[in-house]
Structure 1
Amino acid sequence: MEAFAPGSVTAVFAPAGDGDESKGASVAVADGVVADVTPADGRGDEPVVTVAGEPTDFEPVELALAELDVPARADLTAEVPIGRGFGASGAATLATAIAANAEFDLGYSREELVEVAHRAEVEAGTGLGDVFVQDRGGLVVGDGGEPRRYGRETPIEYASFGPIATEEALADEALMARVAREGTAALDALPVDPSLERVVRDAWAFAEAVDLPTDEVREAVAEVEAAGGVASMAMVGETVFAVGVEGVLPNRTAVCPDGAELR
C-alpha cells in the first residue's frame, strides 16, 4: 500500500517549554515522500526501511512501525532532499503510518496516525511539529493543538546547500532559548490572515536574529531580494526558499493544498 505526505518548510518556530511540541509558521510543499508499505519478508517482527531501494536506518519510521506493531517493510521515495529542512523525516513517518494502517487493516483514525508519527519524530529528535503541517497541507500557523490553516497557491523556489543536523540543533539549549524568544515574538507579530510573502519576510528577520544563516544562505537570499522577491532559510537546514521570483533559484515547487493521502 502506498501513501504520500508532502514535504514542509518551517519558516518560524518556537519550541514549547517541555520540548515536546512547537508552534510555528510552516508551509506544505507539493514535493514530498512516498511510502510503499508491505509485509516484511524473512526478518521476523523487525521493520525494514529502504530509501531509493537501499536499506537504511530511519529511526522515526522504525519507531512508528514498532508502535503500530506490524511486521512491515517501508520502501521510501523522497522527492525532497533529506536532512535539508524539508521535513522529509516527518513526511516519511506520516506516509508510512498511513500506508501501514491501510495495508494491515489496523483501523486507526487519522488523528491517531498523526499522533503516532509525531511521537516517533519527537523520540527520534528529528522534528517537533512537521507532521501536523503535512497532515493538513497549505500554510499552517500555530501549534499541533489549534493551528490556523490557510489555502495558498503560491509557487516556491528553493536552493539547498547542505544539511544541518536537526537533532544537534534541538539539543543546543542556548540556541533553543534564542529560538523560543525570537520565534514567539515573530509569530505574535503576524496578522490573522498573513500572506506567504509576509511570513517569509518575517522569517528572514527571525533567522538573522537567531544567527543561523551561513554565507551561502545569505548570498542566495540577497539574489532573491535583488530580483524583487523575498526569501528565508528553512528551519532547520541550509536551504533557502523564496516566493515572488521565477528562475532565480534552481528548484521550483508549489504549496501543496492537501495533506497526506493514500495512493
Structure 2
Amino acid sequence: MNCSIFVPSHITGFFEIRDNDNPIKKGSRGAGVVMDKGVITKTEISDGNGVQIKINGKIDVRNATITEKTIEIIKRDYNLDNKKIVITHDVDVPIGAGFGTSASFALGASLGISKILDLPLTFNKAAQIAHLAEVEMKSGLGDVIGALSGGLVLRLKEGAPGIGVTDKLLLNQSEDLYVISKCFGEINTGDIIEDPVHKERINSTGRDLLFKLTSDPKPENLMKLSRKFAEKTMLMSSEVLEAVVILEEETIGASMAMLGNTAFAISESPDTSIENAVVAKLNHSGLKFL
C-alpha cells in the first residue's frame, strides 16, 4: 500500500510567537507565502517491521528526525507493530533555510500513514500530528497550517489545523504571481524561537503587523511589513540584505524568509538577475494528494 502527497513550501514573512502549555494550541500568528515547489512524500507500508526514511534518494539522519518524530507521535495512539514503513521525501527547495521543509516532511508522513492504514482521523486531526511534531522538535510554529492554506497566507490565530485560523489575501492580478528566493544557508529555528532575546524582539516587532496587513490586505503591504520585521528583529545577514535590495528593484517587494538565511520576493515576473535563484509560481491550493 502506498500514498504520494505534495506539500508546498511555506515561507513566513513576519510572525509573533504565541506560547501555550498545550502544544496543539501553541504556534504563531503572522503572514507568509506558499510557493508551488516543495516536497513530494511517498509512503509505503507493508507487513514487516522497521522504518526507513530517505530524502532525495539518500539516508539523511539529521533531516529525517522530524519524520521520525511524526511516526513516534502516531505510535502513541495507534499500533504500528508488524508494519514496515518506507518514506521517501523528494525535495526541490533548500532544507533548513526558511522554506518550511520540516512541516512538509511531517505533513506528508502523518497524512500518508493515516490514509494508508485508514486510521480513525479526519484530515485536520492527521495534520495536527504534524504540528505536534514541529512544536516538539522546535522546528516550526506555523508552517503546517500555512502550507495547507496556500496563497498569501494570514495566520490570524495560532495553533494546529482545526485550532488555528487562517485567511489569505484576495488577489485581483490577471497574471500569476511568482515567488523568487535565494538561499545562502541554514538557520536553526529552535536557536531563534527559544532564545529569550530573539523572542522578545520578534514578539514586540511582530505583534502589530498582522493588524496593519488586514487593514491594507495587498501583496505590496505584506512585503513592506515583512521587510520592516526583518530589519527590526536584526535577523538579516549582510548577504541576504544585499539580495533583498536587488530583488526590491525587480519585484513587488522582498525580505528575509523566517527563519532561514534566505531572501525572498513576490513578483509579477519569473525573471531575476539573482543567480541560482529558486523561482516558483504562487501556490493557491495547498497540499495535494497525487
> Which TM-score band applies after superposition, normalised by the shorter structure?
over 0.9
CA contact (8 A) 2:98 2:257 kept: yes
In structure 2, the partner of 1:240 is 263
Query: What pairs with 1:1-263 in structure 2 (closer than 5 Å)?
Result: 1-18=3-20, 20-39=26-45, 44=49, 46-57=50-61, 58-69=64-75, 70=80, 71=83, 72-141=85-154, 142-143=156-157, 144=159, 145-150=164-169, 152=171, 153-192=176-215, 194-227=217-250, 229-244=252-267, 246-249=271-274, 250-263=277-290
**Structure 2 CA distance for aligned equivalents of residues 79 and 253 of structure 1:** 11
Instruction: Provide TM-score, normalisation by structure 1.
Output: 0.92
Which stretch of the first structure deviates more once superposed, 116-125 or 31-40?
Answer: 31-40
**Structure 1 residues 234 and 138, CA gap change in structure 2 (3 angstroms):** same
Q: Aligned partner of 1:224: which letter?
A: L
Moved over 6 A (4+): none
Query: How many angstroms does 1:235 deviate by?
Result: 0.2
Structure 2 CA distance for aligned equivalents of residues 10 and 191 of structure 1? 16
Cα deviation, residue 192, structure 1: 4.2
Secondary structure of the corresponding residue to residue 147 of structure 1: strand
The amino acid of 1:238's aligned partner reads N
Question: 51-60 or 145-154, which moves further after superposition?
Answer: 145-154
1:165-186 Cα distance to aligned partner (Å, 9 max, x none): 1121112111011101101122
Taking the aligned partners of 2:138 and 2:237, their CA distance within structure 1 comes to 23
Please give the TM-score of this superposition, normalised by the length of structure 2: 0.84
Instruction: Say which SS state the counterpart of residue 248 (structure 2) adopts.
Output: helix
- State the AA in 1 paired with 2:33: V
Task: Please report how far the alpha carbon of residue 207 of structure 1 lies from its aligned counterpart in structure 2 after TM superposition.
Answer: 0.5
List runs of 5+ in structure 1 lacking aligned partners.
none
Identical amino acids, percent of aligned pairs: 28
Are the counterparts in 1 of residues 247 and 272 from structure 2 also a CA contact under 8 Å? no
Task: Tell me if the contact between 1:139 and 1:149 (Cα under 8 Å) persists in the aligned partners.
Answer: yes
Residue 65 of structure 1 deviates from its aligned partner by 1.5
Q: Deviations over 1:141-167 (max 9, x none)?
A: 123422213355421111111111112
The 1:227/1:30 distance shift into structure 2, 3 A limit, reads closer
Cα displacement string for residues 24-49 of structure 1 (whole angstroms, at most 9, x for unaligned residues):
1022110011111112676x3x4321
Instruction: Give the paired residue count.
Output: 261
SS of the residue aligned with 2:97? coil
Unmatched 5+ stretches in structure 2: none
Aligned to 1:191, what secondary structure does the other structure show? Answer: helix
AA aligned to 1:216 is E
Do the aligned residues in 1 keep the contact of 2:250 with 2:272 (CA within 8 Å)? no
